[in-house]
A and B are shown apart, each in its own frame.
Chain A
Amino acid sequence: MTALDEIKIGGLGASRRRVEDNRFIRGKGNYVDDIVLPGMLHMEILRSPVAHARIVSIDTSKAWAIPGVRLVLTGEMMAKRNLAWMPTLSYDTQAVLATDKVRFQGQEVACVIADDPYIAKDACEAIVVEYETLPVVVNPEQALATDAPLIRDDKENQQDNVVFDWEVGDAAGTDRAFAQADLVSKIELHYPRSHPSPIECCGSIADFDRSTSKLTVYMTTQAPHIIRAAVSLVAELPEHMIRIVSPDIGGGFGNKVPVYPGYVMSILASILLERPVKWIEDKTGNLISTGFGRDVYLRGEMALRKDGKILGVRMHTLSDHGAFFADAQPSKFKIGLMHSAFAAYDIPAAHLLARGVYTNKAPGGVAYRCSFRVTEAMFFQERMVQAAADDLGMDQAEFRRVNFVRDDDFPHRTAFGFLTDSGQYGKCLDVGLEAIGYADFQERKKEAAARGRLLGIGISTMTEPLGAGNSREYDILGIKMFDSAELRVHMTGKALLRTGAKTQGQGHETTWAQIVAHELGLPAEDVVVEEGDTDTAPFGMGTYASRSTPVAGAAVAMVARKIRAKARKLAAHLLEVSEEDVEWELGRFYVRSAPNRGVTIQECAAAAYSNMPDGMEPGLENVAYYDPPNLTWPFACYIATVEVDPQTGVWDVLNFVAVDDCGVRINPMIVEGQIMGGLTEAYAMASMQFITYDAEGNCVGSNYMDYLLPTAWETPGFELHEVVTPCPHHPIGAKGIGECATVGGPAAFVNAVMDALKGFGVRNIDMPMLPDRVHEAITTGRDVSGHPPVRQDD
């Protein structure tokens, strides 16, 4: 008998087609908006047109008068039920419906529940709200001004607009490093506000059944179990009477982690009306009110030795959190994992000072496709590294190589206290330089310059922390960040796998089955994967921050190993030998001394239901909870070459090379898809994407004409390469990959444009590098700041 071919059964390393695509491409996906319940009503939200105003009065009488209107909710009515405010994921409070004042444009002011969404929308327009406008704060500078209006006057001890001051690292040690420096290099930049903007907006259907007291909520959530806990707290319903179902999700990117007012209102409405209530947010509502990304002003400096060695780093961040501190992040950290910056470099000392402020902008800094603010961290890091290399007059690749953590230095404790455990940074850089033709490009650049053409090359290299927990350091609202998997192998050897994660396009239904195939030798197609229903799935923290494969994926491997351990006992029974004499090869146990005598995993499964040894518990099911010993640390090297048109400031990408080391790849095709998608988003942020506010606090970027998503037409091609350094602690050696490209990509584009402009004395252009900003830098020779966010008229 020959061993099974792992690739053929769809195991580890197979670029198996995504099973979920079968229903998506047939239009058979099941999204929240596809669900129709008997007697279902529809909810629409009335949002504030102004950014900061006292609510003088709300007159809902005209709305109530419209036939088909069932309920009109205002903040006052919510307050009577103690539901006007709700806790955020960052221990702040957020208004569900405004009572005292509105604090950002788009804030929820009232909602209408009606027989159909058209009526609900008409009724929203019939509500008359009188606002008394207040001075508006749209950036940190205004927030911190001495005469700034107090945005959070609802909070007892809040005297100013500061959300937090936070510090990490070794201040004294860093001072000493700077004292020894030959050269200090500085940079200052703004990472603009962006929005994860999944194509499907947020939505929910709340269905409260008075007869059973059970609340079922279908909703667009990346983390159903956290939501169940939050709903239990907010609505004061017992947890076992709440069922959260997250059906197919049309993209999340972090946007669907928080609890939003719309969810809460639909729940209350369903309880009051005892009918299912559906709320489907529109695109503008999603863009102007839900979790955004970034909006951080970063500045810092690097202490350097003449030979290129980095001695220390100082960082300051000033982050704009909007009206409520609703960031979704582990509770121990105020500015996410910003201090993962510089983890790829061997730096003796580092210090970070972080300050967050309230403004009259939408709340909810979410990890937009990053592991809690590492996007800003790595962008700052790679911009700082390029500036330092330039100041030293050193080649940008060489400067990185000199300072990388070396392969034999792992495990390595970073200056900010993280433990990196594996990587081949130099090798990844070499593969990237070779692929892009680094040496040749320097020649081409010189030749082009002689003919008045501006070429540039930009490198971005980084390792980032993906896959929170471990549970010692990572929790959300006190709930530890582990994850889970439950595997049921039926008597025919087919299996059902459930996890506490929730796929939103990542392909869990495909890849989890591949892990089972790898561990048990069951063909991947024999394993069906289910996620997202809190009544059936084991408890888990959900999918974001690239944590699915590092945590839930590890749990899948571990539960499969538990199943295998029991199957081994069954095999010994069937083969009539002792367990110690049984050997495993993929899909089959055999007798060590007689390899031809064996039983398949399927035969073991049958035995678990029909022929178990005396005293053995029947069945072949198990569950595993996995608490990772550490984060995973993938590495990436991205290199872009660009040409800038000096007359217009338009820049085009000539080539882009990506080298990713995410450890063992479960499904290489899906991994490549994740990288392609992430690089596309990186390109978007670098070139076109931002949400800004005018001086009155009007959101510019409230629809897809203003907030741009890149299309296939302008997105450059990406050439992908890989290096594999298995994760030392993950059961199958995998690391996170979902976000590397979004995190590391933007700096490659910006560094390339800045490299092209080297001769103009410009150090920084804030993203997005719109042609007018590039042109301004060329013509003035000065840095171009994205702040203030929107130009006032000339």
Chain B
Amino acid sequence: MYPSRFGYESPRALDEAIELLTRGQGEAKILAGGQSLIPMLKLRFASPEMLVDINNLPGLSHLTVDPDGSLRVGALCRHSQLERAAALAGPFPTIAAAAPLVADPIVRNRGTLVGSICHADPQGDWAAVAIALGASVVAQGPSGRRRIPVADFVSGPFQNVLAYDEVAVEVVFPAAAGTAAGGYLKLERRVGDFATAGVAVGLERSGSVVTRAGMALTGVGGATIDASGAAQALVGGELTADRIARAAEGAAAAAKPRSDHRGSAAYKRHIVHTFVTRILTRVADDVERAA
């Protein structure tokens, strides 16, 4: 691989990293797992003057559940850590379902959830999961920290709202009130392929009644699609076949897919419909079994 010439810094402290970014005036780029950035450099789609490698920063590898039940995922927490965290299945079933479907095992050993969300690829799996679960990015810059809901964080394809001197230090997933439910389904042509279409559903329920519902779609639009509007059909009642059908239809209508070599637009829309139905039907079955 022969990228354009670039400088390289490997700071040992977060302040130092922010300092380097500030000096870079927008010409410096953060290198986390490198699984998206390195291919961009190789293809010369990105030609930053400087790479600020954050892999040596301390205290960013965490995958922590706080006392209030919220989950904090550090900027250096790898996809594989999420995949292996068996304890997530109960409180964060959507994350547990998505982790083994992101990329392939080799990429999962390096790539990070935070990096994936910063990269804002419309076909990235984590942004959909984060939006469905109402997660936020915690960003740190010269003037301190701020918290940005992921739904507002991604500003377009491959674009986010971070200032050039800010580092996303973690993503926080709020704790579910009541029982968490949901899932992630992805259609791919092969392991390691980006999604032909993906659906993330995050629910909170009290007994058999859904109290909160979030939904987002991968790979069926110019950016990750927040389909939480369609998910509102589920809130306030049981997961009946009728409600499931309305949510599925709403999600399919929210999708804005394009025809390409992965499949036709109509087919992708159909897959969204099918996957929403499958995730919700499985949850409904689980609820029924538990009752």
Contacts and interface: CB of A to CB of B under 8 A. Distances in A.
Interface of A: 44, 117-118, 120-122, 125, 282, 647-650, 687-688, 690, 692, 700-701, 703, 705-706, 708, 710-711, 713-714, 770-772, 775-776, 790-794
A714 B191 contact: yes
A746 B262 CA distance: 20
A121 B3 CA distance: 8
A794 B265 contact: yes
B289 interface: no
Given A118-B5, A647-B274, A794 B192 contact: no
B194 A793 contact: no
Given A703-B43, A776-B267, 9 more contacts: A690-B261, A692-B261, A708-B189, A708-B190, A713-B192, A714-B191, A775-B270, A791-B261, A793-B259
Contact of B263 (A701, A705, A706, A770): A770
A254 B234 CA distance: 56
Given A713-B191, A714-B190, A706 B261 contact: yes
Nearest to A775: B267
Interface string B252-287: 000000111111111110110010000000000000
B192 A711 contact: yes
B80 to A, nearest CB: 15
A651 to B, nearest CB: 12
B191 A772 contact: no
B159 to A, nearest CB: 20
Contacts of B194: 705
A120 B4 CA distance: 11
Contacts of B16: none
Interface of B: 1-2, 4-5, 43-44, 104, 187, 189-194, 196, 258-268, 270-271, 274
Contacts of A708: 189-190, 193
Contact of A771 (B4, B187, B261): B187
Contact of A648 (B5, B187, B189, B260): B187
Pick the most buried of B104, B265, B267, B270: most chain A CB atoms within 10 A of its CB. B267
A770 B262 contact: yes
A791 to B, nearest CB: 4
Contacts of B265: 793-794
A690 B260 CA distance: 13
Contacts of A688: 189-190
B187 A650 contact: yes
Given A713-B104, A776-B267, A700 B261 contact: yes
Contact of A793 (B191, B258, B274): B258
Contacts of B267: 649, 771-772, 775-776
A648 B267 CA distance: 9
Nearest to A705: B194
Nearest to A772: B263
Nearest to A779: B270
Contact of A711 (B43, B187, B191, B260): B191
Contacts of B264: 772, 776, 791, 794
19 contacts: A125-B44, A282-B1, A282-B2, A647-B274, A648-B187, A649-B267, A706-B261, A710-B190, A711-B190, A714-B190, A770-B189, A770-B263, A771-B187, A771-B196, A772-B196, A772-B262, A793-B258, A794-B265, A794-B266
Contacts of A794: 259, 264-266
A226 to B, nearest CB: 31
A558 B270 CA distance: 63
Give the 10 A-B CB pairs with smallest separation, nearest first.
A772-B263, A713-B191, A772-B267, A791-B259, A121-B2, A794-B265, A688-B189, A708-B190, A793-B259, A118-B2
B261 A790 contact: yes
Pick the most buried of A120, A692, A711: most chain B CB atoms within 10 A of its CB. A711
A700 B260 CA distance: 10
B4 A122 contact: yes
Nearest to B277: A647
A770 B187 CA distance: 11
Nearest to B123: A705
Pick the most buried of B189, B258, B259, B265: most chain A CB atoms within 10 A of its CB. B189
